[in-house]
Amino acid sequence: MTAQNTIQNGIISHLSPYTVPETIDRLASILQAKGMAIFARVDHSGEAAKVGLTMPPTQLLIFGNPRGGTPIMLAAPLSAIDLPLKALAWQDAAGKVWLSINDPRYLQTRFALTDEVLKPIAGLESLILQALA
């Protein structure tokens, strides 16, 4: 594991060379090109500012494709707590921007999913890396 990539508590984080909004924009574009739906984009720091609080830039992208997610939820109904998929772009205290996702292997272990059921989301990290290129 390099300093640019970390795995902690089932979350994979990659250092982004872009701002938080740019990181989410790039990822959303790649996901849509792959046929995934963007269900929501949550600007946590923007919402905090609306109530007079400050936090570093932080945005969450909620996305997926029912063709891939539905079989997972059929195999393990509680997996719906983690679906649709999410990606979090956030700025740390040092000003570095990170893009974080749930590790599909963590979800596989958490919900005892077979490799076949997990297959539609197994390549998620490669899409993350494309967004950061």
Asked if the structure places residue 1 within a domain, the reply is no
Name the residue type at position 130: Q
Asked if the structure places residue 67 within a domain, the reply is yes
C-alpha 113/C-alpha 78 separation (Å) is 11
Domain holding 127: CATH number? Answer: 3.30.310.70
SS3 of residue 54 by DSSP? coil
pLDDT of residue 7: 72
| DSSP label of 6 | E
pLDDT of residue 8: 75
Asked if the structure places residue 8 within a domain, the reply is no
C-alpha 127/C-alpha 133 separation (Å) is 10
pTM to 2 decimals? 0.91
For residues 12 and 99, the answer to whether their CB atoms sit within 8 Å is no
Asked if the structure places residue 6 within a domain, the reply is no
Asked if the structure places residue 107 within a domain, the reply is yes
Asked if the structure places residue 110 within a domain, the reply is yes
- Give the pLDDT of the chain (133 residues) as one tens digit per residue: 344 676 778 899 999 999 999 999 999 999 999 999 999 999 999 999 999 999 999 999 999 999 999 999 999 999 999 999 999 999 999 999 999 999 999 999 999 999 999 998 988 989 999 999 9
pLDDT of residue 86: 98
C-alpha 116/C-alpha 97 separation (Å) is 33
Q: Which residues contact 73 (CB under 8 A, 6 or more apart)?
A: 79, 80, 83
Asked if the structure places residue 15 within a domain, the reply is no
For residues 103 and 6, the answer to whether their CB atoms sit within 8 Å is no
Q: How many structural domains are present in the chain?
A: 1
C-alpha 44/C-alpha 67 separation (Å) is 29
**Domain residues for 71?**
32-132
pLDDT of residue 6: 67
pLDDT of residue 10: 87
Asked if the structure places residue 7 within a domain, the reply is no
For residues 13 and 23, the answer to whether their CB atoms sit within 8 Å is no
